[in-house]
Amino acid sequence: MGSFPKDFLWGGATAANQCEGAWQAGGKGLATVDVTPFGADRFPVALGRLEMLECDDRHYYPSHEAIDLYHHYKEDIALFAEMGFRCFRLSIAWTRILPNGDDAQPSEEGLAFYDAVFDECHKYGIEPLVTICHFDTPIALIKKYGGWKDRRMVDAYVHYCGVLFDRYRGKVKYWLTFNEINMLLHLPFTGAGLVFHPGENVKQVQYQAAHHELVASAKAVKLAHEKMPGAMVGCMLAAGQYYPRTCAPEDIRAAQEADRDNYFFTDVQARGAYPVWAGKRMERAGIVLQTEPEDEKTLREGTVDFVSFSYYSSRCITTDKEILSEEKADGNAVQEAVKNPYLKASEWGWAIDPVGLRVTLNTIYDRYEKPMFIVENGLGAVDTVEPDGSIHDSYRIDYLRAHIEQMEKAINEDGLPLMGYTTWGPIDLVSASTGEMKKRYGFIYVDKDNDGRGTLARSRKDSFYWYKKVIASNGSDL
């Protein structure tokens, strides 16, 4: 194995709503995740097809209590430090800071919580990497504006960013504006607090909301640079190459178009303007964007310092009707995809494709030529606790090892600038797509099940010791 850069940021990534719990502590306001139930209504709500702005008697256990990191952060960060983490990616819960999303005065209790978390990180030399908004649009702003479909969300978000930058300058150098911004097109309630009403032009609403998020992201980048010289702000994309399922030229074109759904966002955030094909695409879909005269300038001036992304799997696209009808779409419902016959899949149907990570890194670099950061990667799996309490998760180690090997090739053979690698869910947490606890990614096991039972005790899996060794050897001992 070749070596990784000396200052490579090894670590793990979480999102407030999937691990903190304490959903009302300190007067925290409701966010989209707090009203997204566990069970049959989860997808309709996430897709914006079901109005759900209050908590009713449905099953919300996972996001409401999660693994209670809110009260366990010292213990959890100590475990990250034991593994040698150099970086911890976390998100700030917008409604912990501003319960209504746009309050003039922020909540001191909310601000103090993250101060304590950052101090704890720095105690161990762990660099925080902060996602400003990770799937948690404030419900109060959805009631007021209809979520990101309304332009006024831009000011609310920029106000929120200003509060964070003023408070945490000096403590946080690395920031991400929106988690998986492209998920707005696939899970619009989760991504942007959108709820669709009968007769509404869904695409029009989505692209308008996307424009607002893109303008907000650019303004946040500019504000961060003004308020925190030296800060680095990145965009964050749910990546994963779309492969043509066959070499039929129609499939190649279809895969190219599918990829464009993803890169639409990053093209704007990294290059500062809409890609040339986007206008035509919107025209064909009957989309007319409402913009302000200064938007072009804002987008141009607010380009990101680095491109970050999550990578779990790749997907196959085809136009072949026979293949489409025979091969069930995989579990990663981001795009109508078919199975890749060359790859195995996780228990949730996500194709496992380490080489695809190298392909993705190269594609992104070819397109943007900016430093890159892999801020999510991992295997969601069911773990078995042995009678003696040990957890032998060799499948997780195999998955991560194979991906790290490809990262190393991308760095040393392709020469790509990769800033770091934070695996998803270094401690077990609630799954974003299913709301389950049993889909686990962690090096650290948390005793909590889908029904909310468990002691919340933390324990080390085999992968914990393995990742510790990987970091200690700076990636050379896999």
Catalytic sites, residue numbers: 376
Nearer to ligand BGP by Cβ, of 159 and 438: the residue is 438
Nearer to ligand BGP by Cβ, of 310 and 318: the residue is 310
For 113, phi then psi, to 5°, come to -60, -50
Nearer to ligand BGP by Cβ, of 326 and 449: the residue is 449
CA proximity to 476, closest of 397, 394, 401, 376: 401
Task: Tell the smallest beta-carbon distance from residue 420 to ligand BGP (Å).
Answer: 16
Alpha-helical runs (H) found in 124-201:
139-145, 152-168, 188-192
| 268 neighbors 299 (Cβ within 8 angstroms) | yes
Taking the C-alpha atoms of residue 12 and residue 14, their distance in angstroms, rounded to an integer, is 7
Nearer to ligand BGP by Cβ, of 324 and 329: the residue is 329
| Parallel/antiparallel/unpaired status of strands 458-460 and 444-446 | antiparallel
- Residue 317: strand pairing partners: 244
Task: Tell the smallest beta-carbon distance from residue 175 to ligand BGP (Å).
Answer: 16
Alpha-helical runs (H) found in 146-187:
152-168
Which run of H or of E encompasses 133?
strand 127-133
Taking the C-alpha atoms of residue 4 and residue 419, their distance in angstroms, rounded to an integer, is 10
Residues in the chain, overall count: 478
Helix (H, G, I), strand (E, B) or coil at 187: coil
Amino acid identity of residue 414, one-letter, is D
Task: Tell the smallest beta-carbon distance from residue 155 to ligand BGP (Å).
Answer: 25
**Which segments of 377-451 are extended strands (E)?**
418-424, 444-446
CA distances (Å), origin 452, targets 34, 60, 302, 390, 409: 15, 10, 43, 21, 42
Task: Tell the smallest beta-carbon distance from residue 88 to ligand BGP (Å).
Answer: 15
Task: Tell the smallest beta-carbon distance from residue 312 to ligand BGP (Å).
Answer: 7
Tell me the DSSP string of 38-81: SSTTHHHHHTT-S---S--SS--HHHHHTT-HHHHHHHHHHHHH
Residues 6+ apart with CB under 8 A from 239: 262, 309, 310, 311, 360, 364
Task: Tell the smallest beta-carbon distance from residue 433 to ligand BGP (Å).
Answer: 3
Nearer to ligand BGP by Cβ, of 208 and 332: the residue is 332
For 318, phi then psi, to 5°, come to -145, 160
Nearer to ligand BGP by Cβ, of 187 and 254: the residue is 187
Amino acid identity of residue 392, one-letter, is H
Task: Tell the smallest beta-carbon distance from residue 243 to ligand BGP (Å).
Answer: 20
Which residues contact ligand BGP by CB under 6 A?
Answer: 15, 18, 179-180, 238, 310, 376, 380, 424, 431-434, 439
Task: Tell the smallest beta-carbon distance from residue 381 to ligand BGP (Å).
Answer: 10
The owner of tokens 């007769």 is 199
